[in-house]
Structure 1
Amino acid sequence: MSEPEPVIRVTRGVPTAEELAALVGAVLLRRRPAAAQTPAAAASAWARSARPGAGRTGWRGSLS
C-alpha cells in the first residue's frame, strides 16, 4: 500500500514549525464555511419617526 500524497508540499526554503503551523491554520480557516451574518437590529419607532419621509407618523406630523 502506498502512502497518500501530501496536501501541502514545500518546494523551496526551510520553513520553521511556527510558519508551517500558521500556514495550516490559514488553510483550515479558509475551508470552514462562512458564519451566517446576523441581521442588524431594527431601528426603534422613535428613531424611524425622525427619518425623512416618515409621513404622518413622524414627529412633525404630530404637530398638525
Structure 2
Amino acid sequence: MSLGPYATFILTSYLLVMAVVLILIAWIGIDYHRQKRHLRELEAGGAVRRSGRSATDMK
C-alpha cells in the first residue's frame, strides 16, 4: 500500500486521532469511578436517592 507523498501526514493524523480517542476513553473510565465513589460518599452521609437504588446496586 503506497500512500504517496502524503504518507507522513496521513500516519501522523491517524496516530493523533488514536491517541485522542484513547485519552477520552481513559478520561471517561476515570470519571465513572470518581462519580460512583462520590455517590457512595453521599449515600454514606445520609443522602437518599429518589429511585431507591443504592450506588452498590448500579453496575
Compute the TM-score of the two structures, normalised by the length of structure 1: 0.30
- Higher radius of gyration, 1 or 2: 1
Higher RCO (CA-CA < 8 Å; seq separation 6+)? 2
Compute the TM-score of the two structures, normalised by the length of structure 2: 0.32
Which has more helix, going by share of residues?
2
